[in-house]
Amino acid sequence: MQKYFITKEEMKNKCITSSDCNHIKNVMRFTKGDLVIVSDGETEFEAKLLEVLKNSVSFTLVKEIKNNNELPYFVDIYQGYPKGDKMSDIAKHSTELGISSLYGVLTKRSVVKLETDKAQNKTERFNKIMKEASEQSNRKVLAKFGGIYKLKDIDFSKYDYKILCFEESAKEGELKNFKTIISSIKNGERLAIFIGPEGGIDLDEVSYLKDLGFIEAALGPRILRTETASLYCLSSISYESELKK
Amino acid sequence: MQKYFITKEEMKNKCITSSDCNHIKNVMRFTKGDLVIVSDGETEFEAKLLEVLKNSVSFTLVKEIKNNNELPYFVDIYQGYPKGDKMSDIAKHSTELGISSLYGVLTKRSVVKLETDKAQNKTERFNKIMKEASEQSNRKVLAKFGGIYKLKDIDFSKYDYKILCFEESAKEGELKNFKTIISSIKNGERLAIFIGPEGGIDLDEVSYLKDLGFIEAALGPRILRTETASLYCLSSISYESELKK
């Protein structure tokens, strides 16, 4: 069943007024009586459509859905801003895999230099991608793109664990840190993962992050592309914390 | 250091005669005296270039490199042929993550219908992508694209374990099978993973695969896109078998 993340206001009024109306009316071609899922990120319902108009879609709640599809703890990824359109793919796939928030980070070796208004447009676009991916992958909570920042402007103090994915660690045969941390995080805690851009992270930045409490960790013995690293982390976290044997 | 997978013949003659000559001379602009890594998939050496010509590059061996970057067992993925150019991304990223061989499978719900000559061209293209990704990710063994086949034409008898990634299992809350299998495979054994195309797998095909010994398994509680499933599997396999705590 098609899912829509709506605001708490829309849930209270039982009426959608966002651009989802266009999706409901013109893309899915839903009409009166059709069933969808609506979620405000906290509660989720099967809903029957009452009136489908261009700018408003009213509905009535049929039954609450108990959905517990979220990772047991919060995983935020700080991605060194990559070239081309790779950030779109990272936004899409990391949402399917359970990320809480994704951030773009401008580091010394980032090729991309973003002006403020362009960064704002990108943030909106990545949030749109993550909303659609949250709906498609049946997330309970809407994954967010938190914005694009310079490394030194980010406050990492809210995190319980901080991992720095570092390919030099892989070359030195370090294969313990990632699994040791991932297997000790408790439900509800907060993990930050930092991934460098294509050119890797400058050694000054490595020192800066280590001073902030980041632990260097290798993601296996092979060298991963920057856009693969986030998917490795989130897949492993799901495997460790959500699958049983 | 840039790595090149070469044939056993080229290794014996200490001379590269493939299209890698163009890469060495014109892309990397290497000249006499530069160091590269050459591997025939079994042994791997640091090599010094002697003469760099358009169609031949001769070298001398400097020292053997002991590289053990392969997953401890063989993982072949049978991917329901996806739309657009998704197979290229799957080929690239699954190579970084340690796949042995990737196959394209034409199922009932595959949108793509490939004629024989087109399938041959695609196979060559995906092998080129996987060779470059094997070099870039520092694989010891060259990952291969095994070809595109109809489901009923594939012989799965050589595998010790067979997993069918099935999203209906996720909906039913099945979360044990994948981890139970992955954590019991022994070094050197062979695992086949079957992943459906965008539209999922037809129930007749599910029965057919189960009769061949495939076990249905969910990859966590969320719904993954077809191009994300292979990366989830390989990342989890690396996490389980290569990382320590």
- Measured in angstroms, the CA of B134 and the nearest CA of chain A are apart by 9
Would you call B228 an interface residue with chain A, using a CB distance cutoff of 8 Å? yes
Contacts B176 to A, Cβ<8 Å: 243-245
Strands A161-165 and A190-195: parallel
CB contact under 8 A, A235 and B240: no
Closest partner residue to B236 among A96, A183, A239, by Cβ?
A239
Contacts A93 to B, Cβ<8 Å: 225, 227-228, 231
Is residue B10 within a helix (H) or strand (E), and if so which, with residue range? helix B8-13
Would you call A223 an interface residue with chain B, using a CB distance cutoff of 8 Å? yes
Residues contacting residue B140 through CB under 8 Å, at least 6 positions apart? B39, B41, B44, B67, B68, B69, B70
Cα separation of B187 and B185, whole Å?
7
Contacts B65 to A, Cβ<8 Å: none
Ranges assigned E (strand) in A53-184: 57-64, 74-80, 101-106, 144-150, 161-165
CB contact under 8 A, A223 and B93: no
* Triad B231, B232, B233: Cα angle to 5°: 90
Give percent helix, percent strand, percent coil of chain B, each to the nearest 5.
Answer: 35, 25, 40
CB contact under 8 A, A239 and B240: yes
In chain B, which among 183-202 make CB contacts under 8 A with chain A? 183
Place of tokens 């020292």: B63
Mean per-residue pLDDT pooled into runs of 10, chain A (245 residues): 94 95 94 95 93 96 91 97 94 98 93 82 96 94 96 97 88 88 97 93 95 96 95 98 95
Q: What is the DSSP letter of B173?
A: T
Q: What is the ipTM of this complex?
A: 0.93
Would you call A168 an interface residue with chain B, using a CB distance cutoff of 8 Å? no
Closest partner residue to B222 among A138, A183, A245, by Cβ?
A138
Q: How many CB atoms lie within 10 A of CB B219?
A: 30
Q: How far is CA B73 from CA A83, A168, B236, in A?
A: 34, 25, 13
Dihedral of CA atoms A78, A79, A80, A83 in degrees, nearest 10, equals -160
User: Which two three-digit tokens encode residue B66?
Assistant: 């002991």
CB contact under 8 A, B244 and A175: yes
CB B159 within 8 A of CB B192: yes
Q: Is B131 left (phi over 0), alpha (psi -120 to 50) or beta?
A: alpha
CB contact under 8 A, A228 and B178: no
Q: Which pLDDT score, from 0 to 100, does residue B198 have?
A: 87
CB contact under 8 A, A97 and B222: yes
Cα separation of B97 and A228, whole Å?
9
Cα separation of B23 and B6, whole Å?
13
Would you call B64 an interface residue with chain A, using a CB distance cutoff of 8 Å? no
In chain A, the residue whose alpha carbon lies closest to the alpha carbon of B243 is A175
Mean per-residue pLDDT pooled into runs of 10, chain B (245 residues): 94 95 94 95 94 96 91 97 94 98 93 82 96 94 96 97 87 88 97 93 95 96 95 98 95
Would you call B172 an interface residue with chain A, using a CB distance cutoff of 8 Å? no
- Measured in angstroms, the CA of B152 and the nearest CA of chain A are apart by 30
CB pairs under 8 A between A and B: 129
Would you call B84 an interface residue with chain A, using a CB distance cutoff of 8 Å? no
- Measured in angstroms, the CA of B218 and the nearest CA of chain A are apart by 9
Q: Which pLDDT score, from 0 to 100, does residue B132 have?
A: 96
CB contact under 8 A, A236 and B236: yes
- Measured in angstroms, the CA of A115 and the nearest CA of chain B are apart by 30
The per-residue pLDDT for range A103-128, each reduced to its tens digit, is 999 998 887 777 778 899 999 999 99
Residues contacting residue A131 through CB under 8 Å, at least 6 positions apart? A5, A142
| φ and ψ at residue A46, rounded to 5 degrees | -80, 135
- Measured in angstroms, the CA of A153 and the nearest CA of chain B are apart by 31
Q: Which pLDDT score, from 0 to 100, does residue B66 have?
A: 87
In chain A, the residue whose alpha carbon lies closest to the alpha carbon of B137 is A223
